[in-house]
Structure 1
């Protein structure tokens, strides 16, 4: 089997999570500068089999797209063009940042460590991926 890779896309940086080859466990992989994201993904898929990209879909409480959806939509067009062999699915990402922050508290990270926005993004991507694994639609 191949891995599934999830992205918590942001204008400055993107959190990335990945499954194991059996698609059972979601783990944080890294956070990359969004300007380098396509390069990173191309390099990663040249080394690992990836069968699907999961990209967080930010929505407001009324299910309307959030402001950041415009930049994500532009990125998705580029991603499909640059890496057409890997399909893309979207997953609602509401509350993932809050859940990531709570995860950091629950795991005992100190206040200074919880201010690491890159870590929050990576954990958010892991939550997005875990959400998909629990309900693959």
Structure 2
């Protein structure tokens, strides 16, 4: 079994989370500047066995695509051209940023630490991955 890598895509920063090889535990990996994302993913898959990518699907409350979906589609085109052998799965990411922020509060992080947007992106990617794992068991 290979790892599953989740991507919380943003126009400036992108949160990354991965599973263990057994696909049981989702852990935050890092946050990457979006302009370096494809390069980062290529380096990562060169050293780790990645079975699939899970990319957040941002939706409005009425179930329509959010404005950021345009940017994500461009990224997905680039991803599938750059790394064609790894399938991409989309999963609803509504409320992940709010849940990530609440997770930071619940874990006792100080206000200064909660203002770290990169950490919010990484936690959001982890929540996307946990949601994917839960939906497949």
TM (norm. structure 2) is 0.99
Aligned partner of 1:5 in structure 2 is 5
Report what 1:62 is aligned to: 62
CA RMSD of aligned residues (A): 0.8
Q: Which residue of 2 aligns with 1:108?
A: 108
Q: What CA distance in whole angstroms lies between the structure 2 residues aligned with 1:62 and 1:21?
A: 36
Q: Residue in 1 aligned with 2:38?
A: 38
* Distance (whole Å) between structure 1 residues aligned to residue 48 and residue 55 of structure 2: 18
SS in 1 for 2:46: helix
Rounded to whole Å, the distance in 1 between the matches of 2:68 and 2:4 is 23
Instruction: Give the match for residue 123 of structure 2.
Output: 123
**Stretches (4+) displaced over 4 A:** none
- Counterpart CA distance in 2 for 1:9 and 1:132 is 16
Q: Distance in 1 between matches of 2:30 and 2:127?
A: 14
Secondary structure of the equivalent of 1:118?
Answer: helix
Inter-partner Cα distance in structure 1 for 2:42 and 2:108 = 35
Q: Which runs of 5+ in 1 are unaligned?
A: none
Residue deviations 1:45-92 (CA, integer Å, cap 9, x gap): 000000000000000000000000000000000000000010000000
Cα distance in 2 for partners of 1:31, 1:55 equals: 14
Distance 2:136 2:122 in 1: 20
